[in-house]
């Protein structure tokens, strides 16, 4: 009995010490786990911050429009060409109305050339200018807008009410892209021959329409002759737009958001001009 007492005392002391050791180990384990989680959180925060940094959130800028303005539409065709295509017309032409001449313009020339017993030749020539600014807010460049509206102007010419024998063909050497739309249209009991040239040059779209008919026995002009003349006038108009923007640099593109004045106004109809 005397020998077992010290042994019992040691067993009780060891049993009392065991939980304390477990507690110490447990605390140490919790501490290590907390440090690991903390590291993960910091890493996650750093990754999140990097993904939303200004560099990654920045959107690419839209290219500014090359042409910042338009020339006087009535001066886009030379007097020599006007005299050749519309012999009896005033070289000054008749300008159409525009809410903003920097984005749209229109001018027309028409006259009847009386040749006495040989009849009379009627000719009509008009030019329409449309310019498109880049829109930073929408991410659309002036050139892209011009390309879209170039296609629309071609479709508009092809869809002319009453047009017959409509044909389209590409034209080279006129701006960045050009298309000729030919058709005939019966007006005043005569068949008029039409040649419409739609051209795009940078952020501008130019439409030249040339048509005519013969009265009193005069022959109607051929499609080939009208097309050749319309292309000549279109080349002059395209060059006039480029000349008007020389030295001016690209447009400032202040019109970065859509507004009514940013859309070119429609040109007056031929019938309305004839009445005037």
The β-bridge partners of 178 are 199
The Cα–Cα gap between 208 and 235 comes to 10
Residue 65's nearest CA partner among 147, 128, 155 is 147
- Token code pair at residue 17: 């010490």
Residue-level pLDDT at 61: 87
- Tens digits of pLDDT across the chain (276 residues): 444 445 444 544 444 444 444 333 343 444 444 444 544 454 445 554 445 445 445 556 889 999 999 999 999 999 999 999 999 999 999 999 999 999 999 999 999 999 888 899 999 999 999 999 999 999 999 999 999 999 999 999 999 999 999 999 999 999 999 999 999 999 988 999 999 999 999 999 999 999 999 999 899 999 999 999 999 999 999 999 999 999 754 444 444 433 434 444 444 444 433 433
Q: Which two tokens stand for residue 20?
A: 């304390």
Which residues lie closer than 8 Å to 268 by C-beta, 6 or more apart?
A: 96, 97, 106
Rounded distance between C-alpha atoms, residue 195 and residue 179, angstroms: 10
For residue 221, give Cα distances in angstroms to 4, 133, 226, 271.
136, 38, 7, 20
Round to whole Å and give the CA distance between 86 and 120: 12
SS3 content of the chain, % helix, strand, coil (to 5): 40, 25, 35
Structural contact between residues 74 and 93, judged by C-beta atoms closer than 8 angstroms: yes
pLDDT at 247 (0 to 100)? 73
For residue 60, the model assigns a pLDDT of: 66
Nearest to 269 by CA among 104, 88, 106, 70: 106
């Amino acid at each position: 009995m005397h020998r077992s007492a010290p042994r019992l005392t040691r067993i009780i002391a060891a049993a009392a010490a065991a939980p304390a050791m477990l507690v110490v180990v447990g605390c140490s384990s919790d501490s290590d786990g907390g440090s690991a989680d903390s590291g993960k959180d910091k890493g996650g925060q750093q990754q999140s911050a990097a993904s939303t940094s200004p560099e990654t959130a920045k959107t690419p800028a839209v290219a500014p429009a090359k042409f910042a303005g338009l020339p006087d539409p009535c001066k886009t065709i030379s007097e020599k060409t006007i005299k050749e295509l519309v012999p009896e017309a005033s070289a000054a032409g008749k300008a159409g109305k525009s809410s903003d001449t920097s984005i749209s313009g229109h001018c027309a020339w028409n006259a009847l050339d009386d040749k006495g017993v040989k009849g009379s030749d009627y000719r009509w020539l008009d030019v329409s200018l449309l310019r498109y600014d880049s829109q930073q807010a929408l991410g659309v460049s002036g050139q892209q807008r011009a390309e879209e509206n170039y296609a629309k102007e071609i479709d508009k010419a092809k869809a002319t009410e009453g047009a017959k024998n409509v044909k389209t063909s590409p034209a080279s050497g006129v701006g960045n892209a050009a298309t000729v739309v030919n058709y005939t249209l019966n007006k005043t009991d005569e068949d008029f021959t039409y040649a419409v040239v739609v051209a795009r040059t940078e952020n501008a779209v130019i439409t030249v329409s040339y048509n005519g008919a013969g009265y009193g026995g005069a022959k109607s002009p051929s499609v080939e002759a009208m097309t050749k003349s319309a292309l000549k006038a279109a080349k002059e108009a395209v060059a006039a737009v480029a000349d008007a923007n020389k030295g001016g640099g690209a447009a400032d593109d202040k019109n970065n958001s859509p507004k009514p004045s940013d859309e070119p106004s429609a040109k007056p109809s031929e019938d309305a001009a004839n009445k005037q």
